[in-house]
């Protein structure tokens, strides 16, 4: 363990807050993005203007090249698969084929010589659609007689997970008190700075296509596109250049990319598409649209003894590839118990298909919603028992490790209680309560809210296999080479897009082989250069790619020592790799690593067959997974007259194992919290009754700006993970997992004098005022009838 103040120094590269090696290009305008590439042909997609209907005709202007489903003969539907949970596979055509199922679904691709021309032609394309009644709300879609979105999924249920521990009923029936939360999370869009986009170019000499696209998983994009277009993967190169944010939205296959590759092969030329913001907001994948009813059974000591959840996840019109739409409901089901010790659990989790944009993972995947729900439950339970919200957490947090959850997940060493105490200490709760009391007397409503949570990160193939995924990701491969010039190249299957992996992996390698990060280049995002891998998502890359990197680097180290031992005529145990040289301990004999590398290629005859030529080693890693944890703590100021919420202060006490680069780790937490505050207060995709989308611009869909984000105070504990060979845990998602719960708990604390409960995110000013108005009316009514008000 180390306190925050001492981080960033030491004798190793790991643990130091060195500046990111990827930043100089990005901050001087030298980044290279998909949309920077020139193309011969440009595409504009014509999208459905209605949510449901039969597509009868596409009217194209004369002479224009307009591709529809009729042209894509032989192109298979994108059909991801789960082999569990009553999953009903539904296929998504690259362009709508006969039916349209959500507003924004791509129907036709206009191809023209410029982006402008394509846009002008697309403006003239008319769609004939016989509209049918859509269903956009998941609970409505479950009702008898609701419109059917896909014939293959009767009742609109695409998957159903059920679990009940053996002693659940007994414990439930014997409980002292049941507390219930009806939580609603509205639909959100990940809103990466760079919307989606792709550029496909055909090489007439080899027949290969190079697809440059803004993706988080280049290899899987290659596999998926070659599957649906039925050609060899060796004929497709996928490049993810600099990617302007993904947050999960770019880990699902965009059907538009399939069309681009098809066009490049048909036209034997280059073709490009850049998504605009409106398209991204209506069709670039959504998430977090869930209803969760959660009931907790407590004993007399306010100990949670059983948990019952009903999870309804609105997964949109199709199932995203490769995870399938099970990603949200199944994640919610598996991790609902969170950081609390509760061994009895019953859950029904359903994925419900509707006439809305398809759901895809978004940073945190369900955990922002389940944490919000569970942390509301704990606050409500504290109130029911008339104890402090901090105390009820103290009584229920897991403190013995390893811990096996009711769902059978194994939690490795963590610090749920310690981070809670750290966050409580940081904020000085008694002083806050005094200030809160004083403010209330003046009509100002301050509140404090806590959220404790566990964040499962860095999980390998067994965890994904538990979902029955036909495509089961998990492992990673890294190839570390020292080339004859003495420079190091690490080729990785992960595909970082802002996470700083070029720097953190270089720090790991630098320590392993005794060199400096500047000597190391991390190569990723190109299927011709990088080994097959799963990309970057699910807070996995530092743990899994980092682990594979360490394994490969240790092999390189062993080989360097072997060569040095040979050349220096010293025992391998006496060789020390440091400062770019191999030295014989206790002597002044040394050889630069660059020289050893040169020998490994050019002087192999000297090794007499005892050492294989070259200096390239491969590492594979497929870990079981590790749980990070944190406590978030928000202080808010609620304007009771307007419903406006200002987040005044935000405190985080976090444990993500060994921290490789404190600056990068802090940046991840900051960014996550910004998105979490957006989820808590601002961001909401809204459909009207006809399935039209009302939030198609950034004037209507409101991500937070710097004004809305308070200073964030971070406190760290570093508990090394036994389930990670680098000892690091993932932390990419934690910020946005805890923030909505902390903020909304703080709002409810602020509004406690009114007897108001907010159980919906975003907690917009309209919703807060509606709750207060109803409380005011109730209170006026009570006064009129002689009852005491709150």
Partner 1 sequence: MKPAPFVRHVPKTLDEALKILADVAPQDGRVLAGGQSLVPIMAFRLAKPAHLVDINEVVGLDKVISDGTTLTIGARVRHAAFHKSVVDNPLGQLLSAVVRHIAHYPIRMRGTFCGSLAHADPASEWCLVVATLDATLVAKSTRGERLIAAKDFFAGIMSTALAEDELLAEARLPLLASDVRFGFNEFNRRAGDFAMAASLVTYRLNAGKIAEARVGLGGAESFPRRIVEAEAALNGKTPGDTVFRAAAEAAAKAIDPLEDHQTNAEYRRDLVRAVVRRALEQSA
The footprint of partner 1 (CB under 8 A) covers: 116, 119-120, 123, 276, 278, 639, 641-644, 682, 686, 688, 694, 697, 699, 702, 704-705, 707-708, 764-766, 769-770, 773
Q: Which residues pair with 790 in a beta bridge?
A: none
How many CB atoms lie under 10 A from the CB of residue 410? 14
Could you tell me the smallest distance in angstroms from the CB atom of residue 314 to partner 1? 18
Question: Residue 153 in 3-state DSSP?
Answer: coil
How many CB atoms lie under 10 A from the CB of residue 53? 22
For partner 1, the closer CB: 388 or 688: 688
Cβ(715)–Cβ(418) below 8 Å? no
Question: Residue 765 in 3-state DSSP?
Answer: helix
Cβ(12)–Cβ(228) below 8 Å? no
For partner 1, the closer CB: 139 or 773: 773
Could you tell me the smallest distance in angstroms from the CB atom of residue 708 to partner 1? 6
Residue 689: alpha-carbon gap to chain centroid: 30
Could you tell me the smallest distance in angstroms from the CB atom of residue 767 to partner 1? 9
CA distance 762 to 776: 22
For partner 1, the closer CB: 180 or 773: 773
Could you tell me the smallest distance in angstroms from the CB atom of residue 259 to partner 1? 21
Cβ(728)–Cβ(542) below 8 Å? yes
For partner 1, the closer CB: 602 or 642: 642
Cβ(366)–Cβ(355) below 8 Å? no
For partner 1, the closer CB: 40 or 702: 702
For partner 1, the closer CB: 440 or 644: 644
Q: Helix, strand, coil proportions of the chain in percent (round to 5)?
A: 35, 25, 40
Could you tell me the smallest distance in angstroms from the CB atom of residue 116 to partner 1? 5
For partner 1, the closer CB: 116 or 438: 116
Q: 12 to each of 8, 15, 512, how far by Cα in Å?
A: 10, 7, 10
Could you tell me the smallest distance in angstroms from the CB atom of residue 634 to partner 1? 18
CA distance 746 to 432: 12
For partner 1, the closer CB: 663 or 709: 709
For partner 1, the closer CB: 281 or 563: 281
CA distance 57 to 320: 27
For partner 1, the closer CB: 264 or 680: 680
Could you tell me the smallest distance in angstroms from the CB atom of residue 16 to partner 1? 36
For partner 1, the closer CB: 157 or 770: 770
Could you tell me the smallest distance in angstroms from the CB atom of residue 646 to partner 1? 11
Could you tell me the smallest distance in angstroms from the CB atom of residue 710 to partner 1? 13
User: Helices in 428-582 by DSSP H: which ranges?
Assistant: 429-441, 461-465, 501-513, 541-568
Q: 611 to each of 219, 590, 592, 604, how far by Cα in Å?
A: 33, 20, 18, 8
Tell me, what DSSP letter sits at residue 532?
Answer: S
Tell me, what DSSP letter sits at residue 340?
Answer: B
Could you tell me the smallest distance in angstroms from the CB atom of residue 57 to partner 1? 22
In 276-405, DSSP assigns E strands to 290-298, 304-316, 344-353, 403-404
Phi-psi bin for 248: left (phi > 0), alpha (psi -120 to 50), beta? left
Could you tell me the smallest distance in angstroms from the CB atom of residue 535 to partner 1? 31
User: Helices in 159-254 by DSSP H: which ranges?
Assistant: 168-173, 218-229
């Amino acid at each position: 363990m180390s306190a925050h103040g001492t981080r960033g120094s030491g004798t190793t590269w790991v643990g130091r807050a060195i500046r990111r090696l990827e930043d100089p290009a990005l901050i001087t305008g030298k980044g290279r993005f998909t949309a920077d590439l020139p193309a011969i042909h440009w595409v504009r997609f014509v999208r459905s203007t209605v949510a449901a209907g039969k597509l009868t005709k596409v009217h194209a202007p004369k002479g224009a090249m307009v591709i529809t489903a009729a042209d894509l003969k032989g192109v298979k539907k994108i059909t991801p698969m789960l082999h569990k949970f009553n999953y009903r596979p539904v296929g998504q055509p690259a362009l709508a084929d006969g039916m349209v199922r959500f507003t924004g679904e791509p129907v036709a691709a206009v191809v023209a010589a410029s982006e402008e021309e394509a846009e002008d032609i697309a403006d003239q394309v008319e769609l004939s659609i016989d509209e049918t009644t859509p269903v956009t709300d998941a609970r409505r879609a479950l009702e008898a007689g609701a419109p059917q979105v896909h014939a293959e999924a009767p009742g609109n249920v695409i998957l159903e997970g059920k679990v009940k521990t053996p002693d659940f009923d007994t414990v439930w029936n014997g409980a002292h008190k049941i507390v219930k939360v009806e939580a609603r999370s509205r639909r959100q869009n990940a809103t990466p700075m760079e919307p989606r986009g792709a550029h496909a170019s055909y090489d007439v000499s080899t027949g290969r296509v190079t697809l440059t696209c803004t993706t988080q998983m280049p290899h899987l994009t290659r596999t998926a596109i070659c599957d649906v277009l039925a050609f060899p993967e060796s004929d497709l190169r996928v490049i993810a250049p600099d990617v302007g944010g993904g947050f999960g939205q770019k880990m699902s296959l965009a059907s538009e990319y399939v069309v681009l590759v098809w066009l490049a092969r048909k036209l034997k030329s280059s073709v490009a598409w850049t998504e605009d913001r409106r398209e991204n907001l209506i069709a670039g994948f959504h998430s977090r649209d869930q209803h969760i009813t959660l009931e907790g059974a407590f004993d007399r000591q306010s100990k949670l003894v059983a948990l019952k959840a009903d999870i309804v996840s609105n997964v949109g019109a199709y199932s995203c590839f490769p995870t399938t739409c099970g990603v949200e409901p199944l994640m919610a089901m598996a991790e609902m118990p969170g950081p609390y010790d509760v061994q009895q659990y019953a859950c029904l989790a359903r994925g419900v298909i509707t006439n809305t944009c398809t759901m895809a993972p978004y940073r945190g995947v369900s955990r922002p919603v389940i944490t919000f729900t569970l942390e509301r439950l704990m606050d409500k339970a504290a109130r029911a028992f008339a104890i402090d919200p901090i105390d009820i957490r103290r009584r229920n947090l897991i403190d013995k490790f390893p811990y096996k959850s009711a769902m059978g997940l194994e939690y490795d060493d963590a610090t749920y209680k310690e981070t809670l105490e750290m966050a409580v200490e940081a904020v000085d709760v008694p002083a806050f309560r005094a200030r809160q009391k004083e403010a209330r007397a003046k009509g100002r409503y301050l509140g404090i809210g806590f959220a404790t949570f566990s964040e499962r990160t860095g999980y390998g193939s067994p965890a994904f296999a538990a979902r029955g995924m036909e495509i089961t990701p998990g492992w990673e491969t890294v190839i570390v080479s020292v080339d004859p010039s003495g420079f190091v190249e690490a080729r990785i299957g992960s595909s970082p897009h802002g996470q700083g992996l070029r720097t953190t992996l270089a720090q790991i390698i630098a320590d392993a082989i005794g060199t400096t990060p500047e000597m190391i280049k991390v190569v990723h995002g190109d299927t011709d250069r990088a080994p097959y891998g799963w990309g970057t998502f699910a807070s996995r890359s530092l743990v899994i790619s980092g682990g594979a990197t360490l394994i490969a680097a240790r092999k390189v180290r062993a080989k360097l020592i072997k060569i040095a031992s040979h050349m220096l005529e010293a025992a391998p145990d006496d060789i020390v790799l440091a400062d770019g040289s191999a030295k014989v301990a206790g002597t002044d004999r040394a050889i630069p690593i660059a020289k050893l590398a040169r020998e490994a290629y050019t002087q192999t005859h000297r090794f007499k067959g005892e050492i294989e030529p070259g200096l390239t080693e491969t590492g594979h890693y497929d870990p079981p997974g590790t749980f990070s944890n944190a406590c978030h703590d928000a202080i808010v100021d609620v304007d009771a007259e307007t419903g406006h919420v200002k987040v005044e202060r935000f405190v985080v006490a976090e444990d993500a194992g060994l921290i490789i680069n404190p600056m990068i780790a802090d940046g991840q937490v900051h960014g996550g919290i910004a998105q979490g505050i957006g989820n808590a207060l601002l961001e909401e995709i809204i459909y009207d009754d006809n399935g039209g989308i009302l939030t198609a611009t950034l004037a209507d869909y409101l991500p937070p700006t710097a004004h809305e984000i308070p200073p964030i105070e971070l406190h760290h504990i570093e508990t090394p993970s036994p389930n990670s060979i680098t000892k690091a845990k993932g932390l990419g998602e934690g910020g946005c997992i805890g923030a909505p719960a902390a903020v909304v708990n703080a709002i409810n604390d602020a509004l406690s004098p009114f007897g108001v409960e907010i159980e919906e995110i975003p907690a917009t000013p309209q919703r807060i005022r509606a709750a207060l108005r109803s409380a005011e009316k109730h209170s006026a009514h009570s006064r009129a009838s002689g009852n005491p008000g709150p």
